[in-house]
Chain A
Amino acid sequence: DAGVIQSPRHEVTEMGQEVTLRCKPISGHNSLFWYRQTMMRGLELLIYFNNNVPIDDSGMPEDRFSAKMPNASFSTLKIQPSEPRDSAVYFCASSLGQGITEAFFGQGTRLTVV
């Protein structure tokens, strides 16, 4: 398996624009996590899905952020409108679920909002 695949790897956008980050989890994994990492705040859990259903979105900073998982092999994190403070590295991770806490992370998307 190729592991967790995220796209794009880098994104530069202007303030106010919509940004969509994509994630393909490892086949057969039931849980999917979205994280954001900055120097100031470290690695923050934004939302996590189990069997394509959002379980906990308490980490989503505000209504500008939304996440979907239409099927077991694809998830998106959307920011609309984007702001400079959203600049960060966004990671997607997946795990088998069912009590397994080993999560596999993608390479991340480095987002820069100017």
Chain B
Amino acid sequence: LAKTTQPISMDSYEGQEVNITCSHNNIATNDYITWYQQFPSQGPRFIIQGYKTKVTNEVASLFIPADRKSSTLSLPRVSLSDTAVYYCLVGDGVYQGGKLIFGQGTELSVKP
């Protein structure tokens, strides 16, 4: 499984755009990149998934360069409620069920 590296923590202010970058230098051809969000006292929640280029949904955007050795989760105009831990996962999306391995995550703190 590809190892991921992301910042331990980030601070931001309400209304700002936040970009969290994840490095995954040994990503395999079959690997997908998935981001989860975890609020205190809750289980992780799926945010977005991509394979290459750019993916956007109602919550976030995911930017993946051509070499796929990194990815950036972009949260537009964050609010206090976006304070959470964000996990970057890389794994074989083809394998049945997948094996989801979580790293340390990035603790995002949004201030007023």
Please list the residues of chain A having a beta carbon within 8 angstroms of any beta carbon in chain B.
4, 30-31, 33, 35, 42-45, 48, 50, 55-56, 91, 93, 95, 97-108
Q: Shortest distance in angstroms between B96's beta carbon and chain A's nearest beta carbon?
A: 5
Q: Which residue of A lies closest to B43 (CB)?
A: A105
Contact indicator B95/A103 (Cβ below 8 Å): no
- B34 partner residues in chain A, CB cutoff 8 A: 101-102
Please list the residues of chain B having a beta carbon within 8 angstroms of any beta carbon in chain A.
32, 34, 38, 41-46, 49, 87, 89, 91, 93-105
Tell me how many residue pairs across A and B have CB atoms closer than 8 Å. Answer: 74
User: What are the nearest 8 A-B pairs in CB distance?
Assistant: A105-B43, A31-B97, A101-B98, A43-B102, A97-B97, A102-B46, A50-B97, A91-B43
Q: Shortest distance in angstroms between A113's beta carbon and chain B's nearest beta carbon?
A: 19
Q: Which residue of B lies closest to A41 (CB)?
A: B104
- A108 partner residues in chain B, CB cutoff 8 A: 41-43
- A43 partner residues in chain B, CB cutoff 8 A: 38, 44, 87, 102, 105
Whether A101 touches B44, Cβ cut-off 8 Å, given contacts A42-B102, A45-B100, is: no
- B32 partner residues in chain A, CB cutoff 8 A: 101
- Report Cα–Cα, A42/B101, bound state, in Å: 11
Contact indicator B96/A101 (Cβ below 8 Å): no
- Report Cα–Cα, A70/B72, bound state, in Å: 40
Contact indicator B45/A105 (Cβ below 8 Å): yes
Contact indicator A99/B93 (Cβ below 8 Å): yes
- Report Cα–Cα, A101/B96, bound state, in Å: 9
Q: Which residue of A lies closest to B91 (CB)?
A: A101
- Report Cα–Cα, A98/B96, bound state, in Å: 4
- Report Cα–Cα, A102/B48, bound state, in Å: 9
Q: Which residue of A lies closest to B89 (CB)?
A: A101
A–B Cβ pairs within 8 angstroms, 30 of them: A4-B43, A30-B97, A31-B96, A31-B98, A42-B103, A42-B105, A43-B44, A43-B102, A43-B105, A45-B100, A45-B101, A50-B96, A50-B97, A93-B100, A95-B98, A97-B97, A99-B93, A99-B95, A99-B96, A99-B98, A100-B98, A101-B34, A101-B100, A102-B49, A105-B42, A105-B43, A105-B44, A105-B45, A106-B43, A108-B43
